[in-house]
Amino acid sequence: MGEILNGNLIRDQIKAECKPRVIQMVAKCGRAPGLAVVLVGDNPASAVYVRNKTKTAEELGIHHETITRDASLSTHELLAIIAELNARADIDGILVQLPLPPQIDAQKALLAVAPEKDVDGFHPCNVGLLSTGRPGLRPCTPSGVIEILKRSGISIAGKDAVVVGRSDIVGKPMAMLLLQENATVTVCHSRTHDLPKVCRGAEILVAAIGRAAMIDENYIRAGAVVIDVGMNTVRTHEEAERIFDASRLADFDKRGSLLVGDVKPGDMARLASAYTPVPGGVGPLTIAMLMRNTIEAAERRG
Protein backbone atom coordinates (compact mmCIF):
# COMPACT_ATOMS: atom_id res chain seq x y z
CA MET A 1 0.00 0.00 0.00
CA GLY A 2 1.27 3.44 -0.93
CA GLU A 3 1.75 6.39 1.39
CA ILE A 4 -1.39 8.51 1.77
CA LEU A 5 -0.62 12.20 1.15
CA ASN A 6 -2.72 14.00 3.74
CA GLY A 7 -4.10 17.19 2.22
CA ASN A 8 -5.75 18.24 5.48
CA LEU A 9 -2.41 18.24 7.28
CA ILE A 10 -0.72 20.32 4.57
CA ARG A 11 -3.70 22.70 4.45
CA ASP A 12 -3.29 23.31 8.18
CA GLN A 13 0.43 24.03 7.70
CA ILE A 14 -0.33 26.65 5.07
CA LYS A 15 -3.06 28.23 7.18
CA ALA A 16 -0.66 28.43 10.12
CA GLU A 17 1.83 30.26 7.88
CA CYS A 18 -0.88 32.67 6.70
CA LYS A 19 -1.99 33.87 10.14
CA PRO A 20 1.15 35.87 11.06
CA ARG A 21 1.13 37.50 7.61
CA VAL A 22 -2.40 38.75 8.22
CA ILE A 23 -1.40 40.05 11.65
CA GLN A 24 1.64 41.79 10.16
CA MET A 25 -0.47 43.46 7.48
CA VAL A 26 -2.96 44.73 10.06
CA ALA A 27 -0.07 46.18 12.06
CA LYS A 28 1.54 47.75 9.00
CA CYS A 29 -1.49 48.96 7.02
CA GLY A 30 -4.23 49.21 9.62
CA ARG A 31 -6.44 46.71 7.82
CA ALA A 32 -6.67 43.01 7.04
CA PRO A 33 -6.50 41.56 3.52
CA GLY A 34 -9.94 41.71 1.89
CA LEU A 35 -11.64 38.98 -0.15
CA ALA A 36 -14.94 39.39 -2.04
CA VAL A 37 -16.79 36.36 -3.40
CA VAL A 38 -19.56 36.84 -5.96
CA LEU A 39 -22.17 34.06 -5.95
CA VAL A 40 -24.87 34.09 -8.63
CA GLY A 41 -27.80 31.68 -8.53
CA ASP A 42 -28.59 28.82 -6.17
CA ASN A 43 -26.20 26.03 -7.16
CA PRO A 44 -25.96 23.94 -3.94
CA ALA A 45 -22.35 22.86 -4.51
CA SER A 46 -21.28 26.45 -5.15
CA ALA A 47 -23.00 27.58 -1.96
CA VAL A 48 -21.08 24.95 0.04
CA TYR A 49 -17.76 25.99 -1.54
CA VAL A 50 -18.42 29.65 -0.77
CA ARG A 51 -19.32 28.88 2.85
CA ASN A 52 -16.07 26.93 3.25
CA LYS A 53 -14.09 29.80 1.75
CA THR A 54 -15.65 32.41 4.00
CA LYS A 55 -15.23 30.17 7.05
CA THR A 56 -11.50 29.82 6.35
CA ALA A 57 -11.15 33.56 5.77
CA GLU A 58 -12.82 34.14 9.13
CA GLU A 59 -10.40 31.75 10.85
CA LEU A 60 -7.40 33.60 9.41
CA GLY A 61 -8.67 37.10 10.16
CA ILE A 62 -9.16 37.97 6.48
CA HIS A 63 -11.93 40.48 5.80
CA HIS A 64 -14.49 38.74 3.63
CA GLU A 65 -17.70 39.64 1.84
CA THR A 66 -20.09 37.46 -0.15
CA ILE A 67 -22.18 39.22 -2.76
CA THR A 68 -25.16 37.06 -3.68
CA ARG A 69 -27.48 37.63 -6.62
CA ASP A 70 -30.28 35.52 -8.04
CA ALA A 71 -29.94 33.45 -11.20
CA SER A 72 -31.62 36.10 -13.38
CA LEU A 73 -28.60 38.44 -13.14
CA SER A 74 -27.36 39.72 -16.49
CA THR A 75 -23.78 39.92 -17.74
CA HIS A 76 -24.00 43.72 -17.63
CA GLU A 77 -25.12 43.69 -14.00
CA LEU A 78 -22.35 41.28 -13.00
CA LEU A 79 -19.74 43.41 -14.76
CA ALA A 80 -20.97 46.42 -12.78
CA ILE A 81 -20.49 44.51 -9.50
CA ILE A 82 -16.97 43.49 -10.52
CA ALA A 83 -16.10 47.06 -11.55
CA GLU A 84 -17.17 48.33 -8.13
CA LEU A 85 -15.04 45.69 -6.38
CA ASN A 86 -12.06 46.51 -8.61
CA ALA A 87 -12.29 50.13 -7.42
CA ARG A 88 -12.48 49.34 -3.71
CA ALA A 89 -9.24 49.85 -1.77
CA ASP A 90 -10.28 47.43 0.99
CA ILE A 91 -10.78 44.49 -1.41
CA ASP A 92 -7.57 42.74 -2.49
CA GLY A 93 -9.06 39.59 -3.98
CA ILE A 94 -12.14 38.99 -6.11
CA LEU A 95 -13.52 35.54 -6.80
CA VAL A 96 -16.44 34.98 -9.17
CA GLN A 97 -17.82 31.58 -8.21
CA LEU A 98 -18.27 29.22 -11.16
CA PRO A 99 -20.42 27.93 -12.74
CA LEU A 100 -22.43 31.01 -13.67
CA PRO A 101 -26.01 30.91 -15.05
CA PRO A 102 -26.09 30.24 -18.82
CA GLN A 103 -27.16 33.75 -19.82
CA ILE A 104 -23.99 35.24 -18.30
CA ASP A 105 -20.83 35.46 -20.40
CA ALA A 106 -18.41 33.83 -17.97
CA GLN A 107 -15.35 34.77 -20.04
CA LYS A 108 -16.31 38.46 -19.96
CA ALA A 109 -16.83 38.25 -16.22
CA LEU A 110 -13.46 36.65 -15.53
CA LEU A 111 -11.68 39.10 -17.85
CA ALA A 112 -13.30 42.00 -16.00
CA VAL A 113 -11.58 41.14 -12.70
CA ALA A 114 -8.48 43.31 -12.23
CA PRO A 115 -5.42 41.03 -12.70
CA GLU A 116 -3.92 42.17 -9.38
CA LYS A 117 -7.14 41.06 -7.62
CA ASP A 118 -7.59 37.82 -9.57
CA VAL A 119 -6.98 35.40 -6.69
CA ASP A 120 -8.20 32.47 -8.81
CA GLY A 121 -5.29 33.08 -11.21
CA PHE A 122 -7.55 32.79 -14.28
CA HIS A 123 -6.95 36.19 -15.94
CA PRO A 124 -4.84 36.02 -19.13
CA CYS A 125 -2.35 38.44 -17.56
CA ASN A 126 -1.74 36.01 -14.70
CA VAL A 127 -1.68 33.06 -17.10
CA GLY A 128 1.00 34.91 -19.08
CA LEU A 129 3.02 35.57 -15.94
CA LEU A 130 2.82 31.88 -15.07
CA SER A 131 3.83 30.72 -18.54
CA THR A 132 6.89 32.99 -18.54
CA GLY A 133 7.92 32.14 -15.00
CA ARG A 134 7.30 35.60 -13.56
CA PRO A 135 5.78 36.27 -10.13
CA GLY A 136 2.00 36.44 -10.12
CA LEU A 137 -1.19 34.92 -8.75
CA ARG A 138 -1.30 31.20 -9.54
CA PRO A 139 -4.39 28.99 -9.97
CA CYS A 140 -5.21 27.52 -6.58
CA THR A 141 -5.65 23.80 -7.27
CA PRO A 142 -2.45 23.28 -9.33
CA SER A 143 -0.50 25.35 -6.79
CA GLY A 144 -1.88 23.11 -4.07
CA VAL A 145 -0.64 20.02 -5.90
CA ILE A 146 2.90 21.45 -5.97
CA GLU A 147 2.66 22.14 -2.24
CA ILE A 148 1.57 18.56 -1.58
CA LEU A 149 4.52 17.18 -3.51
CA LYS A 150 7.13 19.48 -1.98
CA ARG A 151 5.91 19.24 1.60
CA SER A 152 5.69 15.45 1.33
CA GLY A 153 9.35 15.28 0.33
CA ILE A 154 8.62 14.09 -3.21
CA SER A 155 11.21 15.35 -5.67
CA ILE A 156 9.91 16.77 -8.94
CA ALA A 157 13.03 17.80 -10.84
CA GLY A 158 13.99 15.36 -13.56
CA LYS A 159 10.85 13.24 -13.11
CA ASP A 160 8.57 12.19 -15.95
CA ALA A 161 5.19 13.75 -15.17
CA VAL A 162 1.94 13.10 -16.99
CA VAL A 163 -1.09 15.38 -16.61
CA VAL A 164 -4.38 13.86 -17.75
CA GLY A 165 -6.63 16.77 -18.67
CA ARG A 166 -5.98 20.09 -20.41
CA SER A 167 -8.45 22.48 -18.79
CA ASP A 168 -7.53 26.13 -18.30
CA ILE A 169 -8.27 25.79 -14.58
CA VAL A 170 -6.18 22.70 -13.74
CA GLY A 171 -4.52 20.81 -16.59
CA LYS A 172 -2.66 23.57 -18.42
CA PRO A 173 -1.43 25.49 -15.34
CA MET A 174 -0.52 22.19 -13.68
CA ALA A 175 1.73 21.35 -16.61
CA MET A 176 3.39 24.79 -16.48
CA LEU A 177 4.01 24.58 -12.74
CA LEU A 178 5.57 21.12 -13.11
CA LEU A 179 7.77 22.45 -15.90
CA GLN A 180 8.92 25.25 -13.63
CA GLU A 181 9.94 22.59 -11.11
CA ASN A 182 12.04 20.96 -13.87
CA ALA A 183 9.86 17.93 -14.52
CA THR A 184 9.53 16.52 -18.03
CA VAL A 185 5.83 16.96 -18.71
CA THR A 186 3.33 15.27 -21.02
CA VAL A 187 -0.23 16.60 -21.23
CA CYS A 188 -2.89 14.07 -22.24
CA HIS A 189 -6.48 14.52 -23.37
CA SER A 190 -9.32 12.78 -25.20
CA ARG A 191 -7.35 12.57 -28.47
CA THR A 192 -4.20 11.08 -26.92
CA HIS A 193 -3.21 7.85 -28.65
CA ASP A 194 -2.95 4.85 -26.28
CA LEU A 195 -3.59 6.86 -23.13
CA PRO A 196 -2.92 3.96 -20.72
CA LYS A 197 0.56 3.46 -22.20
CA VAL A 198 1.42 7.15 -21.91
CA CYS A 199 0.22 7.24 -18.30
CA ARG A 200 2.26 4.14 -17.42
CA GLY A 201 5.37 6.15 -18.32
CA ALA A 202 4.67 8.62 -15.52
CA GLU A 203 6.69 8.80 -12.33
CA ILE A 204 4.24 11.53 -11.27
CA LEU A 205 0.70 11.08 -12.59
CA VAL A 206 -1.81 13.91 -12.15
CA ALA A 207 -5.40 12.97 -13.00
CA ALA A 208 -7.67 15.92 -13.75
CA ILE A 209 -10.04 14.68 -16.42
CA GLY A 210 -13.37 14.78 -14.55
CA ARG A 211 -14.46 11.17 -15.08
CA ALA A 212 -15.16 8.96 -12.10
CA ALA A 213 -12.42 6.33 -11.54
CA MET A 214 -11.45 6.31 -15.22
CA ILE A 215 -7.77 5.79 -14.40
CA ASP A 216 -7.33 2.18 -13.26
CA GLU A 217 -4.46 -0.28 -12.91
CA ASN A 218 -3.83 -0.21 -16.66
CA TYR A 219 -2.75 3.43 -16.42
CA ILE A 220 -0.58 3.35 -13.28
CA ARG A 221 3.11 2.50 -13.22
CA ALA A 222 4.06 0.55 -10.09
CA GLY A 223 5.76 2.94 -7.68
CA ALA A 224 4.42 6.11 -9.30
CA VAL A 225 3.19 9.08 -7.30
CA VAL A 226 -0.47 9.59 -8.15
CA ILE A 227 -2.23 12.91 -7.59
CA ASP A 228 -5.99 12.62 -8.02
CA VAL A 229 -7.54 16.04 -8.63
CA GLY A 230 -10.96 14.67 -9.58
CA MET A 231 -14.09 15.09 -7.48
CA ASN A 232 -17.03 13.06 -8.77
CA THR A 233 -20.20 11.82 -7.10
CA VAL A 234 -21.16 8.17 -7.58
CA ARG A 235 -24.95 7.81 -7.40
CA THR A 236 -25.80 4.37 -8.86
CA HIS A 237 -25.11 0.98 -7.33
CA GLU A 238 -23.85 -0.32 -10.66
CA GLU A 239 -21.18 2.36 -10.83
CA ALA A 240 -20.31 1.86 -7.17
CA GLU A 241 -19.74 -1.86 -7.76
CA ARG A 242 -17.32 -1.02 -10.59
CA ILE A 243 -15.29 1.34 -8.41
CA PHE A 244 -15.38 0.31 -4.74
CA ASP A 245 -14.49 -2.72 -2.63
CA ALA A 246 -16.95 -4.41 -0.27
CA SER A 247 -16.37 -2.07 2.69
CA ARG A 248 -16.90 1.05 0.60
CA LEU A 249 -19.94 -0.51 -1.06
CA ALA A 250 -21.46 -0.82 2.39
CA ASP A 251 -20.84 2.92 2.86
CA PHE A 252 -22.50 3.60 -0.48
CA ASP A 253 -25.57 1.54 0.47
CA LYS A 254 -25.83 3.48 3.73
CA ARG A 255 -25.39 6.97 2.26
CA GLY A 256 -26.80 6.57 -1.25
CA SER A 257 -23.79 8.26 -2.86
CA LEU A 258 -20.02 8.56 -2.46
CA LEU A 259 -17.28 10.85 -3.66
CA VAL A 260 -14.57 9.43 -5.89
CA GLY A 261 -11.73 10.95 -7.87
CA ASP A 262 -10.61 10.29 -11.42
CA VAL A 263 -8.53 7.31 -10.28
CA LYS A 264 -9.88 3.95 -9.11
CA PRO A 265 -9.02 4.12 -5.40
CA GLY A 266 -8.11 0.46 -4.80
CA ASP A 267 -5.77 0.31 -7.79
CA MET A 268 -4.16 3.61 -6.80
CA ALA A 269 -3.55 2.48 -3.22
CA ARG A 270 -2.10 -0.84 -4.38
CA LEU A 271 0.24 0.40 -7.11
CA ALA A 272 1.31 3.94 -6.16
CA SER A 273 4.24 4.69 -3.88
CA ALA A 274 2.28 7.73 -2.67
CA TYR A 275 -1.14 9.10 -3.55
CA THR A 276 -3.80 11.64 -2.66
CA PRO A 277 -7.13 10.24 -1.43
CA VAL A 278 -10.54 11.59 -2.40
CA PRO A 279 -11.77 13.26 -0.30
CA GLY A 280 -8.97 14.63 1.88
CA GLY A 281 -6.22 14.98 -0.71
CA VAL A 282 -6.02 17.88 -3.16
CA GLY A 283 -9.40 19.41 -2.25
CA PRO A 284 -8.43 20.98 1.09
CA LEU A 285 -5.45 22.71 -0.54
CA THR A 286 -7.56 24.71 -3.00
CA ILE A 287 -9.09 26.96 -0.34
CA ALA A 288 -5.78 27.27 1.54
CA MET A 289 -4.07 28.48 -1.64
CA LEU A 290 -6.93 30.92 -2.26
CA MET A 291 -6.27 32.46 1.16
CA ARG A 292 -2.55 32.64 0.45
CA ASN A 293 -3.23 34.31 -2.89
CA THR A 294 -5.45 36.87 -1.16
CA ILE A 295 -2.72 37.70 1.33
CA GLU A 296 -0.10 37.95 -1.44
CA ALA A 297 -2.38 40.25 -3.45
CA ALA A 298 -2.83 42.44 -0.37
CA GLU A 299 0.89 42.55 0.34
CA ARG A 300 1.64 43.59 -3.24
CA ARG A 301 -0.94 46.38 -3.08
CA GLY A 302 0.41 47.55 0.30
pLDDT per residue over 8-26, tens digit each? 999 999 999 999 999 999 9
User: How many structural domains are present in the chain?
Assistant: 2
Length of the chain: 302
Annotated catalytic residue, options 92, 97, 118, 172: 97
Kindly report whether the global pTM for this prediction surpasses the value 0.85: yes
Q: What is the domain-level CATH number for residue 275?
A: 3.40.50.720
Is there a domain that residue 9 lies in? no
Is there a domain that residue 234 lies in? yes
**Residues 144-148, mean pLDDT to the nearest whole number:** 98
**Residues 191-203, mean pLDDT to the nearest whole number:** 97
pLDDT of residue 291: 98
Annotated catalytic residue, options 92, 117, 118, 120: 120
Is there a domain that residue 7 lies in? no
Query: What integer best gives the mean pLDDT of the chain?
Result: 96
Q: How far is it, in rounded angstroms, from Cα 161 to Cα 227? A: 11
Q: What is the domain-level CATH number for residue 100?
A: 3.40.50.10860
Residues 176, 99 share a domain: no
Q: Pairing mode, if any, of strands 184-188 and 225-228?
A: unpaired
Q: How far is it, in rounded angstroms, from Cα 161 to Cα 145? A: 13
For 69, counting Cβ atoms within 10 Å of its Cβ (0-12 exposed, 13-18 middle, 19+ buried), the class is middle
267: annotated active-site residue: no
The torsion angles phi and psi of 165, rounded to 5 degrees, stand at 125, 140
Is there a domain that residue 288 lies in? no
Is there a domain that residue 297 lies in? no
Residues 182, 224 share a domain: yes
Q: CB within 8 A of 197, min separation 6: which ones?
A: none
pLDDT of residue 44: 86
First CA to last CA across the chain, in angstroms? 48
pLDDT of residue 247: 86
Residues 156, 94 share a domain: no
Residues 175, 62 share a domain: no
Residues 150, 80 share a domain: no
pLDDT band at 45 (very low <50, low <70, confident <90, very high): confident
120: annotated active-site residue: yes
Is there a domain that residue 20 lies in? no
pLDDT band at 93 (very low <50, low <70, confident <90, very high): very high
pLDDT of residue 282: 97
Q: How far is it, in rounded angstroms, from Cα 291 to Cα 86? A: 18
Domain encompassing residue 110: 29-116
Q: Does residue 302 register a pLDDT over 80?
A: no
Please list the residues that pair with 63 across neighbouring strands: 34
Q: Does residue 301 register a pLDDT over 90?
A: no
Is there a domain that residue 287 lies in? no
Q: How far is it, in rounded angstroms, from Cα 62 to Cα 58? A: 6
